[in-house]
Chain A
Amino acid sequence: MAATSAVPTAPLQTSGVAPDAARRRRKKSERRFQTPADVVVFVVLCLGAFTMLLPLVWMLSTSLKTQENVFALPPQWIPKPAEWSNYLRVWEAGPLLRGIVNSAIVSLTVITVGTVTSCFAAYAFSKMRIPGKNALFLALLGGIMIPFPALMIPTFMLFSKIGWVDTLLPLIVPGLFGNLMMVFFLRQYLMSVPDSLIEAAVIDGANHPQIFWRIVLPLIRPAIAAQVILWFMGTWNDYLGPIIYLNSENVHTLQLVIANFNATYAVETDYPLIMAASIIALVPVLAVFLVFQRQIIESIALTGNKG
Chain B
Amino acid sequence: MSATTPVGPAANTPPPAALVRPGRRSARASAGARTSGASRPPGRGRLTRPERIWGRIFIAPPVLGFALFALAPLLFSCYAAFTHWNGLSSPVFSGLTNFRTMAGDPQFWQSLWNTLFLMIGIPIGLAISLALAIALNRRMPGRAAFRVIYYLPGVSSVAAISILWQWALNGDFGLVNELLRMLGIDGPNWLAEKTWVKPALILMGVWKGLGFSTLLYLAALQSVPRNLLEAAMLDGAGAWRRFRHVTLPMLSPVTFFLVVTGIIGGAQMFAEINIMTPTGGPEFGSATIVWYIWQQGFQNLKLGYATAMSLVLGALIFLVTAFQFYLNSRNVFTVE
Q: A7 near B: Cβ within 8 Å?
A: yes
Chain B residue contacts of A207, Cβ below 8 A = 50, 54
Instruction: Answer whether residue B130 sits at the interface, using C-beta atoms and an 8 A cutoff.
Output: no
Is the beta-carbon distance between B59 and A133 smaller than 8 angstroms?
yes
Ordered nearest first, which 9 A-B pairs have the shortest CB separation?
A: A177-B65, A150-B314, A301-B219, A307-B257, A278-B160, A124-B58, A307-B253, A239-B271, A154-B73
Contacting pair A285 B55 (CB below 8 A)? no
- With A195-B20, A278-B157 known, 16 other A-B pairs at CB within 8 A are A6-B257, A15-B222, A30-B143, A45-B132, A129-B30, A130-B30, A147-B268, A160-B87, A174-B68, A177-B62, A214-B12, A240-B294, A262-B166, A275-B164, A300-B212, A305-B254
Interface stretch among A80-88, A90-98, A136-144, A220-228? Answer: A136-144
The chain A residues found within 8 Å of chain B, CB to CB, are 3, 6-7, 13, 15-16, 26, 29-34, 38, 41-42, 44-45, 48-49, 52-56, 58-59, 62, 70-71, 75, 117-118, 120-121, 123-131, 133-134, 136, 139-140, 143, 145-158, 160, 174, 176-178, 180, 183, 191, 194-197, 200-204, 206-209, 211, 214-215, 233, 236-237, 239-240, 243-244, 254-256, 258-259, 261-263, 266, 271, 274-275, 277-279, 281-282, 285-286, 288-290, 293, 296-297, 300-302, 304-307
Contact assessment for B157 and A121 in the assembled complex, using a CB-CB cutoff below 8 Å: no
Chain B residues within 8 Å of chain A by Cβ, number: 127
Are A297 and B159 also in contact (CB < 8 A) when A147-B314, A278-B164 are? no
- Complex: A126 Cα to B151 Cα, angstroms: 33
Closest to B76 in A: A154
Closest to B212 in A: A300
Q: What residues of chain A lie closer than 8 Å to B164, measured between beta carbons?
A: 55-56, 58-59, 275, 278
Chain B residue with minimal CB distance to A137? Answer: B59
Write out the residue numbers on chain A whose beta carbons fall within 8 Å of the beta carbon of B63: 136, 140
State which residues 7-66 of B face A: CB under 8 Å: 9-12, 14-15, 17, 19-21, 23, 25-27, 29-30, 33-34, 43-44, 47-48, 50-52, 54-59, 61-66
For B74, give its contact among A124, A150, A266, A281 (CB under 8 Å). Answer: A150
A153-B152 contact, Cβ under 8 Å, with A177-B69, A255-B159, A305-B254? no
- Quick one: which of B27, B87, B163, B256 contacts A307, CB cutoff 8 A? B256
Q: Is the interface of A mostly helix, strand, loop or mixed?
A: helix
Q: How many angstroms from the CA of A183 to the CA of B64 in the assembled complex?
A: 14
- Closest residue of chain A to B315 (Cβ to Cβ) is A150
Within 8 Å by CB of A209, from B54, B62, B149, B328, lies B54
Chain A's closest residue to B52 (CB) is: A130
The 21 sampled A-B contact pairs (Cβ below 8 Å) are A33-B141, A42-B140, A124-B55, A128-B54, A129-B29, A130-B56, A149-B313, A153-B80, A153-B297, A153-B307, A154-B80, A178-B61, A183-B62, A208-B58, A237-B158, A244-B294, A255-B159, A259-B274, A275-B167, A302-B219, A307-B254
| Known pairs A200-B15, A239-B271, A255-B157; A136 contacts B178 (CB<8 A) | no
Contact present for A271 and B257 (CB under 8 Å): no
The chain B residue with its CB closest to the CB of A184 is: B62
Q: Mark B287-317, 1 if CB is under 8 A from A, else 0.
A: 0001001100110000100110011011001
Q: How far is the CB of B144 from chain A (nearest CB, A)?
A: 8
Most chain B CB atoms below 10 A, which of A71, A149, A160, A255: A149
- B110-169 at interface with A (beta carbon < 8 Å): 132, 135-136, 138-143, 145-153, 155-160, 162-168
Q: Are B254 and A304 in contact (CB under 8 A)?
A: yes
Binding site for A on B (CB under 8 A): 9-12, 14-15, 17, 19-21, 23, 25-27, 29-30, 33-34, 43-44, 47-48, 50-52, 54-59, 61-66, 68-74, 76-77, 80, 87, 132, 135-136, 138-143, 145-153, 155-160, 162-168, 172-173, 175, 178, 207, 210-212, 215-216, 218-220, 222-223, 253-254, 256-258, 260-261, 264-265, 267-268, 270-271, 274-275, 278, 290, 293-294, 297-298, 303, 306-307, 310-311, 313-314, 317-318, 321, 328, 332
- Residues from chain A with Cβ under 8 Å of B17 in the complex: 194
Bound-state Cα–Cα, A258 to B159, Å: 6
The reply to whether A7 and B261 form a contact with Cβ atoms under 8 Å apart is yes
